[in-house]
Copies of this chain bind each other. A is one copy, B any other.
């Protein structure tokens, strides 16, 4: 489209496309990667891995996306197999612990990697063991992996070989909390976060928790307080902007009966009173030019339907308690900005491309 209106960022023309592969392609995050990479102007989908559906045709596992004409591979271990297929970049949507042991070999073979699991998000192998109960298979890579939250650390991405894509909850909470922390507004008191997630966030393996007649029409908290593993990467990123500790972060996630979406609210105590205008100005300034963050104005608050299908994060701020408590609300699509979309945004920056290349901006009208 040659005029100004554009809802997505296809930058067509003569760009040479890069061969890409997806591991764990048949889960929700993997399939969302396939869907988005399939229309990405710089990507040529060349290989898909799935242990569960190995040897099946992709379209038998995902009949809604029949245009992808590939057979699902099982041989995850050998980077050579991916190189033979023309893959230059691997997106891994495997569960945590599954890819890390072969990451070193993939990198040595010259493949670049965007890992969507938790494996390379934490700097500390000890904390990884504590949070995930697994001895880290490749601790030597932890320092060199870039944490892919591009609104904050885009500079780490250009040319990176290994990018750790943030968790879905962490993405929403960090985009909400970091501006106030960076500005030095935080009092040091406990930060209290409540968050809601759609059911696709629990993955595609059938369980009683995600059975329609159980979770439909019901809301449930889980792993509340200080129990959720995403707290590790939240606190690490918070410390990075404060230059000190993240103090106490309390995180109360809930499962709610919708397929997609995360909605978080962050209550952050301040060292001095601010008013709403000042707070909004801080957030608006911080995200000026950020293609995928919108700070809502007036009475508007983030709703997940306004970001469903989009890579955008909607945010809004309020102040209460006489200006001493900041409330920040953030909404994302857990499978897009919370996973596959952000992975592509990170990859765009790794390639030196515009960060929005091939990514959807418009939310679905209804779903």
Contact = CB atoms under 8 A, between A and B. Distances in A.
A217 interface: yes
A305 B214 contact: yes
Contact of A303 (B8, B41, B219, B303): B219
Interface in A346-367: 354, 356-367
A256 B215 CA distance: 13
A31 B208 CA distance: 15
Contacts of A302: 220-221
Tell me the number of copies of this protein: 4
Contacts of A7: 35, 38-39, 65, 67-68, 360-362
A260 B325 contact: no
Contact of A194 (B206, B252, B354, B359): B252
Interface stretch (A12-20, A75-83, A112-120, A158-166): A12-20
B318 A362 contact: no
Contacts of A219: 196, 256, 258, 261, 263, 303-304, 331
A50 interface: no
Interface string A196-213: 101110001011101111
A190 B321 contact: yes
B321 A250 contact: yes
B365 A367 contact: no
Interface residues of A, number: 114
A39 B181 CA distance: 37
Nearest to A221: B301
Given A204-B211, A358-B8, A250 B327 contact: yes
Interface of A: 1-13, 15-17, 28, 31-32, 35, 38-45, 62-69, 190, 192, 194, 196, 198-200, 204, 206-208, 210-222, 224-226, 248, 250, 252, 254, 256-261, 263, 265, 267, 269, 294, 296, 300-310, 318-322, 324-325, 327, 329, 331, 335, 354, 356-367
Shortest 8 CB-CB contacts between residues of A and residues of B: A12-B12, A64-B363, A7-B38, A218-B305, A194-B194, A206-B206, A220-B303, A3-B44
